[in-house]
Amino acid sequence: MRPMELHFMVQEAFGFPNGIVRSNEIEFHEPARSGDTVRVEQVLRYECFCRI
């Protein structure tokens, strides 16, 4: 899975020409080395800034 894959999948599914990423954080507890396993986790949160 490439970084921000979920962002691009949702953008394509809804046919949005553009998307806004509010934050993107990468955290390494120690430097990654060749042969290390790296885990990816993505969270999608919906925020409506609509006027009601």
Q: Is residue 6 part of a domain?
A: yes
Task: Give the single-character DSSP code of 3.
Answer: T
Residue 29 placed within a domain: no
Counting the structural domains of the chain, the total is 1
Rounded Cα–Cα distance for residues 41 and 3 (Å)? 9
How far out from the chain centre does Cα 30 lie? 22
Residue for token digits 């925020």? Answer: 47
The answer to the question of residue 47 being in a domain is yes
Any idea what the Cα angle at residue 37 is, between residues 31 and 38, rounded to 5°?
70
pLDDT surpassing 80 at residue 50: no
Sign of CA dihedral 32, 33, 38, 42: positive
Mean pLDDT computed over every residue of the chain: 79
pLDDT one-digit tens code per residue, 13-34: 888 888 777 777 777 788 889 9
pLDDT band at 35 (very low <50, low <70, confident <90, very high): very high
